[in-house]
Every structure is written in structure tokens, then in C-alpha cells.
Amino acid sequence: MLQPNPAALDFLLTRRSRPAKTLIAPVPSHDELMVLLTAAGRVPDHGKLEPWRFIVIEGAAMARIADIAAARGAELGKSDEDIAKGRGQYDQGHLAVVVVEKPVASEKIPPLEQTYSAGAVCLSLVNAALASGWGACWLTGWPSHDAAFRERAFGLAADERIAGIVHIGTEGSAPPERPRPDIAALTTWVSE
């Protein structure tokens, strides 16, 4: 028997990430954030491997990580624009959760499905934050894909990757609605 939850469906149909640069203080307390992380952890996780973990960045750690991104960008010969963009989310941020993909050796669960699980955690964390009244967005950026940055900034092991950096805070301004995909044009129905 169906038990619809119209409020949840309406939330999903109208949800909208908030640009990180528009998020201001205050941010969730540790206790409030633990509720959001618990909700985020309720994702598809074939084999119960938990192929992901969280790193919470707050306070002075934001500035430290921004400096690491700038230094790494200079080492790589990135343009001033790329360096500014790479450090910007940390310069402007107040609280972020790094969702780290940490693969688990498994004969049954392919690595790609573990990657999907980490991605699902990112979206679930954004949705949990939005449902709780916070503004949130999921970012990455060039530093996230650089092994040296990941190790220096977050102490990630060589086999760990950043699935996403989820910024959470108070919505400073409402973003305009953006164009959405034409679902009918992107859907194929197969009946036979």
C-alpha cells in the first residue's frame, strides 16, 4: 500500500542549492551537524562497506586550507584566476564538510559502486541541510582533484579522493531559479 509523503516530494521538486559565496554565519552547531551527517550516511551502500568518511572544516582551518590551495596553484603554474577560484571557497566559507571517498577492497562491490555511494552522501548531506533550513551546496574545484593538495590540506591517503565539499551556512540571499532539464527529452521508455 502506497504511503505518499507529499511534503517530502514537494521539497525534492523545489530544492535549490545555495551558492557557497552567499552562505553566511551562523552555521550549524556540532550537534546540529551530527544530525545532518547521520542523515547523509543513510545512502545506498551495497555490502555495508561505508566507502566514505567526513572531514569537517571550520574556523581558522578555512584560511589555512585557502593558503594551501594558493601555494599548490602557484607550484602548478596556475593562473591568478585559477588560484583565486581554488582558494575562494575556503576564503569565503564558514563551515564545510569534505566527503572523502575511501575505497574498500571487496570482491562483491565494484569500486564504481563505492564512488556512487560517496556521491550519494554528498547529495544527501546537501538535502539534509536544506531540509533543516540551512543553505548548502556541493563543490569540488581543481584543488580537490590534486593529490598533493588533498594530502597537505586534509591528510588523505593516496587511494582516497574528495567526492565533494559541502558548504553549509545561513542563506545570505536567495538565488534566482535556474533553467532545469527537459526531462521528457531525456527519458526513453522501454516496454518490450
Is 161 annotated in a binding site? The answer is no
Report residue 50 as a C-alpha cell: 561505508
| Unique residue bearing C-alpha cell 593558503 | 67
Is 167 annotated in a binding site? The answer is no
Residues 6 or more apart whose CB falls under 8 angstroms from that of 69 comprise 83, 86, 87, 90, 143, 149, 153
Is 42 annotated in a binding site? The answer is yes
Q: How far is C-alpha 189 from the geometric centre of its chain's CA atoms?
A: 31
Is 16 annotated in a binding site? The answer is yes
CA atoms of 65 and 75, how far apart (whole Å): 15
| Count helices and strands in the chain by DSSP H and E runs | 6, 5
Is 87 annotated in a binding site? The answer is no
Summarize the annotated binding site for FMN as residue ranges.
15-17, 42, 46, 138-140
Summarize the annotated binding site as residue ranges.
15-17, 42, 46, 138-140
